[in-house]
Amino acid sequence: MAVVEVTGLEKCYGGVAVVDGVSLAVERGEVFGILGPNGAGKTTTVECVAGLRRPDGGQVRVLGLDPAADAAAVRSRVGVQLQQAALPDRMRVGEALRVFATAHGRPDQVEGLLADWGLAEKRRSGFATLSGGQRQRLFVALALLGDPEIVVLDELTTGLDPVARRDTWGLVRRLRAEGTTVLLVTHAMDEAAALCDRLAIIAGGRVVATGTPEEVTGAHASLEEAYLAHTDASWEVPA
């Protein structure tokens, strides 16, 4: 069953099409990857899905709802972690969770999320003192407030060291095991291959390939080679 359906999505800025006819469907309970080079339109696509941007054309349905017309209803059922997310330097971990949990009407979730995501010992730590991996765990915890049915994770591991990246992959696998649908934006081939049940490669604002990692690889020797063939873009594992 598709819980996200995007058909002919278009979004322009200054007359330039950033998203140009994107169509994709995400099934309940899967990790669906949106893969592509920087500037391909990945983030804009998921922002339209999450109701954070209004499309210029096409149709988006999330859990049967139109994110543009039913933004509040969609936000109550979709958690979002965006690439540029940040908190005030002095805001403490526990404080951030309490503030956002209260906004969601779920203050009862704070202690459980602190424990579940390895943040209990950091509850009194300011945001500026957290490591990259700890910040990502906090943003995932914030995205999970209200028990969303779908979680959007945008470039979750960019800038993390190899150990923190692998630990964060474990968080994504855990979400899937618990039945949460994950929409994962990435430009890391190893991440897509390791985590995604299915994926779409976007280049120049268009979907150029879609399917399981094996289907997308096709006749190519690896997902990296398929990516290069479809996007004509350079590739490297994020630092």
- 158-171 per-position pLDDT tens digit: 777 888 788 888 88
pLDDT recorded at residue 189: 84
Token readout for 200 is 């779409």
Q: Given a cut of 80, is residue 234 above it in pLDDT?
A: no
Token readout for 218 is 């096709």
Q: Identify the residue with better confidence: 218 or 181.
A: 181
Q: Taking all residues of the chain, what is their mean pLDDT, rounded to a whole number?
A: 89
Q: What is the pTM of this model?
A: 0.86
Residues 108-129, mean pLDDT to the nearest whole number: 92
pLDDT band at 238 (very low <50, low <70, confident <90, very high): very low
pLDDT recorded at residue 109: 92
Pairing label, strands 181-186, 31-35: parallel
Which helix (H) or strand (E) covers residue 20, if one does?
A: strand 16-27
Q: Given a cut of 90, is residue 200 above it in pLDDT?
A: yes
